[in-house]
Amino acid sequence: MKISWMKLLIYSLFLFIISCQGIDQNEVYGKYSPVSYKNTFDTLIIKKEGKYRRVIYDKKKIKLLGYESVYKLDGNSINFDSFYFNLDKDLVAFPNDVKDVDMTFTTYFEKIDGNVGLCFGYHEGENCYKKVITSSK
């Protein structure tokens, strides 16, 4: 029984630390790009009016995807509708993968190298995007 309480305490502390990172809502708007992708060129633009824009190119710089959808902010987390889950797959070999944009995805904002960022991977610190341009709109 003590082990389950210990796990609950550790999990609660983890959530508390994440929620106290101090990222202001106005800091989240802008253009994001992947930190270390090799197979795709991806941009994610989070706009103030509850919309986001996504453009993805393969490694040959051929545009494979461009769309706009909506998101919802909740504290330090963001929920994207119609999201393409880009794990830097080789889209030259698998160009049809970009057609799968029918999922919703929730992640949270964090500081990456001093900048606001988001991570989308299965494990902590994987498939991260860092804000590169602040949005004026």
**What's the pLDDT tens digit per position in 128-137?**
999 998 765 5
114 is a domain residue: yes
Confidence at 123, pLDDT banded by 50, 70, 90: confident
Give percent of the chain above pLDDT 90. 64
49 is a domain residue: yes
Residue 9: its pLDDT value, please?
A: 56
Domain count, the chain: 1
Expressed as residue numbers, the domain containing 128 is: 24-134
17 is a domain residue: no
Specify the range with the lowest mean pLDDT, choosing from 2-16, 34-48, 76-90, 122-136: 2-16
Are the C-beta atoms of residues 88 and 37 closer than 8 Å to each other? Answer: yes
DSSP H/E element including 3: helix 2-19
The mean of the pLDDT values for the chain is 86
